[in-house]
Amino acid sequence: MTIDKVKILKALESINVYDEIYVNHPSILKGFHIENLDVNLDLVISNPSLQFKNKLKKDIENTLLNIYSTAQININIAVEKIAKSHPTSSIKNIIAVASGKGGVGKSTVSSNLAIAFTKKGYKVGLIDADIYGPSIPLMFDAESERPKVIEKDGTSLISPIISYGVKIMSIGFFSDPSEAIVWRGPMATKALKQIINQTDWGPLDYLFIDLPPGTGDVHLSLVQTIALTGSIIVTTPQPVALIDAKKAISMFKMKEINVPIIGLVENMSWYNVKEDKHYIFGRDGGKNISNTENIELLMELPLDQSIREAGDIGRPAALQESSLGDIFVKLAEAVEKKVNLMSQSSKETKKVEIKHNRGCN
């Protein structure tokens, strides 16, 4: 019998140690190797009680022996004071959704992707990083909601608003929607960092970040604050949108930033009239960028009135059991597939260290 390391790690994921931190978490599992039928685990915990250690050992042994009944489970547990985890440390994938140009449907794509991944059974969060024009509270029917401050491990954190199963956070929850947010760059970047670092996200499979248009302070602050898994670029087929989409692509490809681009989404690709496609904003713009920039075109989305209406009433189209809902599920599947491929071939992403040169200040 051969013991499968992946199966063991998957099984350890079901054993909770504390605060939704499981045995396979890097702060707990410090050593793991298999030799013939011996499974050797080195763990670090913060609870010194003998009763706690014995129970944890028993839980692990019962779980693993249920899979491999003849295995020899060797568990070494050390007790150390473990540093408090960062609110984003238990998030598996963090994806920025960018456009370069405003009005191309970036927030629509972000919100519907978040819903589609939730429908697939994932734990999902969404940050509205458009500090000056937050729209996610409206699109999730949560404009009247106000996040609460909670105490966790001696630290004050903000509890995100949960709508349709998605944990969402936006500057729109803290401002009057009828008043303009007039902030200089440093204030906007500070607000974004607080939303990222002071929100109690808990374990998430995916966190989507709906970026503002452009390639400015907020974008640079983001890549310096958090390690992104990758980015998705949203555009329309229209030449003026494609120009700005190329700028967003160029930003993520910069040597100082170097964030992987998961793919391109072309929104408002066509409009159906009696099953005939009308290309109102032009044709094949996304395909052309995909070819010239060597970036996968993940999906072409139609210009459809019901998608707009769904966002305006606070019930994203991905919630629908219809052909439109299916489109966003297919988009989520394309993103999921690409992220899985990237995780197999790429090194672990890190926060970007940007030096003060070539305009990156």
Residue 80 or 122, more confident: 122
pLDDT at 357 over 50: no
Residue type, 219: H
* Model confidence at 359: pLDDT above 60: no
Q: Distance between CA 116 and CA 182 in Å, rounded?
A: 34
Whole-model pTM: value is 0.72
Whole-angstrom Cα Rg for the chain: 23
CB 247 within 8 A of CB 309: no
Mean pLDDT value across the chain = 85
> What are the structure tokens assigned to 273, written together?
């009239």
- Topology of domain 91-345, CATH: Rossmann fold (3.40.50)
- Beta pairing class for 276-278 and 271-273: antiparallel
Report the 10 Å Cβ neighbour count for 64. 21
Alpha carbon 214 to its chain centroid, in Å, reads 20
Residue 134's nearest CA partner among 211, 220, 218, 193 is 211
Identify the bridge partners of residue 148 per DSSP, sorted by sequence position: 159
Exposed/middle/buried for residue 210 (C-beta within 10 Å: 0-12, 13-18, 19+): buried
CA-CA distance, 352 to 223, in Å (whole number)?
5
Residue 199 DSSP symbol: B
Q: What is the CATH number of domain 5-79?
A: 3.30.300.130
Q: What is the pLDDT of residue 356?
A: 46
More confident residue, 285 or 18: 285
Domain boundaries, the chain: 5-79, 91-345
For residues 140 and 150, give the distance between their C-alpha atoms in angstroms, rounded to a whole number: 23
Q: Which residues contact 191 (CB under 8 A, 6 or more apart)?
A: 131, 171, 183
Question: Residue 97 is inside which H or E element, if any?
Answer: strand 91-98
In one letter, which amino acid is 138? L
In the chain, % of residues over pLDDT 90: 45
Q: Is the predicted pLDDT of residue 361 greater than 50, yes or no?
A: no
Among 109, 117, 126, 135, smallest CA distance to 300 is for 109
3-state secondary structure (DSSP) of residue 133? coil
* pLDDT tens figures, 217-265: 777 777 777 888 999 999 999 999 999 999 999 988 888 788 899 999 9
> Cα–Cα distance between 170 and 343 in angstroms, integer?
28
- Per-residue confidence (pLDDT) for residue 73, from 0 to 100: 92
Q: How confident is the model at residue 313 (pLDDT cuts 50, 70, 90)?
A: very high
pLDDT digits 0-9 by tens, 85-110: 567 778 999 999 998 888 899 999 99
DSSP state, residue 86: P
CA distance 249 to 239: 15
